[in-house]
Amino acid sequence: MELSTLDYSFIIVFFSLVLGIGVYVSKKSGKNSSEFFLSGRTMPWWLLGLSMVATTFSTDTPNLVTDIVRTSGVSGNWVWWCFLLTGMLTVFVYAKLWRKSNVKTDLEFYEMRYGGKPASFLRKFRSIYLGALFNIITMASVTLAAIKIGGIMLGLEPWETVVGAGLITVVFSALGGFKGVVYTDFLLFFVAMAGAIGAAFYLVNIPEVGGIEALIAHENVADKLNILPDFDNTSVLITMFIIPIAVQWWSSWYPGAEPGGGGYIAQRMLAAKDENHAIGATFFFNIMHYALRPWPWILVALASLVVYPDIASIAQAFPDVANDKLGHDLAYSAMLTKLPSGLLGVVLASLVAAYMSTISTQLNWGSSYIVFDFYKQQINPDATEKQMVTVGRISTVVLMLLSALLALTLQNAFEVFDLLVTFGAGTGLVFILRWFWWRINAWSEITAMFVSGIISILLVKTSLGEMLFDPITGLLPEWANYPFVVVVTTAIWVAATLMTKPESDATLRSFYKKIQPGGPGWAKVVSKAETDNVEIVNAKEKWSVPSGVTAMLLGVTLVYSTMFATGYWIYGETTYAIIGSGIALVSGLSLIKVWKGMKENIL
């Protein structure tokens, strides 16, 4: 496949704009560490929301959605659609709490909520585990997807893809800091959306597919269209729907959908102007992420079943692709080779945008952990602002270099990444309850983290089953394994919590006074403080969790009904589309009423 002058023009202009943004904001971003990692906490909700959406595009996301649709049908996406529940819980309960904490990273929370050496160990350990090791493997996985796209669409060698895309990304990330990332994400969002929608519209209407009606009626596609799984197939129902909806969403630490918020989502909430803007940003992100954005990818995936019905047909069309790189995920890239000049340039720019947005976010987020939670805490407690920015820029470059080198050596980075993600199975409840139950301590999190990892490794190496949770396909080959890890991990960390000493009164009271979490889980702490004549309760603040949970449920209904309605409008099933739209309207109006009752206004 050859690019035209027009295609190259789109890509060159795009790269120039990205670099220009990085250079433009570099001076202000290097002013101090708060500017470099949080943009001075002045970001509006709409810009942060767009940044969240752009970040989660990634180069591998459309490939992975394609893989799911081709192997499990549209309903297979429930393995990640289920995370809307924790997303909405973050919107209406935890976004406010995170912004009130005023921490610089979500790991700083540990020494606010807990005390002593266990809290210090937890913060330092996770800064390296998440900021370096986990981050490098995540970026290597994303880069490997970029290598596959570059190989199929442009015939590039792996090193050419890594150097070309990686060099520009690391330059503007190191120069512009968080503000450069977010400003660039604004551009990347629109480029990526234009590419995804444009590609879907064109590819559904190519002669081989014949339009949306012919696509839906095609024999290779007809059994893949259901948005809900087959309720008569017990195994599929349990694996693809019941476990994700009943267990998975609250029990797993998953990048971008951490129970209780965390990671780069927390970073954006912490960078918001205030609590209302943090809420608005996460709400906008969840609507776009779950209700609207997946459908262009799904349509291309369905169309690929007509053009490339199996892996053998992909191999025949692209004989130069190595056998170890062949898979259903390549069907998305294969379909893009059929785009015409001009649109091809836009789509390629959109894929580059997806890559750069994800990598730049991972770089800035990971380096923030290294600077605030390791370097300043462990290496140089008296570090100046200039030194922290310098270390941030150096760590950005080092993280990019290491991830690029790892990507070049991997055949399937997700095997290692899967194992790291399984370490989070069963830990989610700790992240949810630590804000609202005084008895949870640092040992609760330490125990949950290590027990989950150890059990996961043991299960992988025994006859009990394969990998428990695949973050890419979400498939649970041995569906009973995942609940087993959750139950055992939860039982052990709860036991460890009750067997170890609670946090000191001073630590608990300081946390309560700053955050005002409220609720029965803190009643003992509040009562004891009153007995000791220590004032920790702000009488002006009422416990907002009950109304927050109500808003969460209405938000989930709104987004899911919008997602269903969008799909049914595309399928031409007018009756179901109208019903879905009606439910979305009613739930939306109800949500507005509840939100007013909470006295929140995102604008």
pLDDT digits (tens, 9 = 90+) for 199-214: 999 999 999 999 999 9
Q: How confident is the model at residue 424 (pLDDT cuts 50, 70, 90)?
A: low
Rounded mean pLDDT, 494-512:
94
Which three-class secondary structure state does DSSP give residue 600?
coil
Most confident of 251-260, 304-313, 327-336: 304-313
At 27 the pLDDT is 65
The residue-averaged pLDDT of 586-593 equals 93
Query: What's the whole-number mean pLDDT along residues 426-446?
Result: 90
Q: Return the percentage of the chain with pLDDT > 90, whole number.
A: 26
Q: Poorest-confidence range of 249-258, 396-405, 432-441, 488-497?
A: 249-258
For residues 392-411, average pLDDT: 84
d(CA 333, CA 367): 31
Distance CA(262)–CA(373), nearest Å, equals: 15
pLDDT reported for residue 135: 81
Q: How confident is the model at residue 509 (pLDDT cuts 50, 70, 90)?
A: very high
Model confidence band, residue 421 (pLDDT cutoffs 50, 70, 90): low
Which of the four pLDDT bands, split at 50, 70 and 90, describes residue 467?
A: very low
pLDDT: which is higher, 435 or 11: 435
- pLDDT given for residue 246 in this prediction: 72
Q: How much is the average pLDDT of 487-511?
A: 93
Lowest mean pLDDT among 98-107, 318-327, 377-386: 318-327
* pLDDT value at residue 486: 81
Residue 601: what pLDDT?
A: 40
* Interval 235-258 mean pLDDT: 70
Q: What is the mean pLDDT of residues 376-401?
A: 87
Other CB atoms within 10 A of residue 43 CB: 25
Amino acid making up residue 118: P
Q: Tell me, what's the pLDDT at 35?
A: 67
> For position 460, what pLDDT does the model report?
55
CA 193 to chain centre: 17
Could you tell me which residue, 472 or 491, shows the higher pLDDT? 491
Range from 20-24, 110-114, 246-250 that averages highest in pLDDT: 110-114
* C-alpha distances out from residue 259 to 377, 428, 586, Å: 26, 5, 27
pLDDT in tens, 591-603: 988 888 775 443 3
Does 419 score more than 70 pLDDT? no
pLDDT value for 356:
79
How far, in Å, CA of 99 to CA of 384, rounded?
Answer: 25
pLDDT at 241: 74
2 pLDDT tier (thresholds 50, 70, 90): low
Rounded to an integer, what distance in angstroms lies between the CA atom of residue 56 and that of residue 263? 12
Q: Which long-range contacts (CB under 8 A, 24 or more apart) does 162-169 make?
A: 162/404, 162/407, 162/408, 165/352, 165/355, 165/356, 166/359, 166/400, 166/404, 168/15, 168/18, 168/19, 168/356, 169/355, 169/356, 169/359, 169/360, 169/363, 169/400
Q: Quote the mean pLDDT of the chain.
A: 82
Average pLDDT on 553-578 reads 94
Q: Apex CA 212: angle with CA 209 and CA 216, to 5°?
A: 85
In 3D, which of 61, 185, 81 has the Cα closest to residue 562? 81
Low-confidence winner among 57-71, 390-404, 486-500 (lowest mean pLDDT): 57-71
Highest mean pLDDT: which of 184-188, 279-283, 297-301?
A: 297-301
What pLDDT is recorded for position 220? 93
Mean pLDDT confidence for 567-587: 95
Higher model confidence: residue 100 or residue 232?
A: 100
Give me the pLDDT at residue 459, please.
64
Of 43-57, 113-127, 229-243, 565-579, which gets the smallest average pLDDT? 229-243
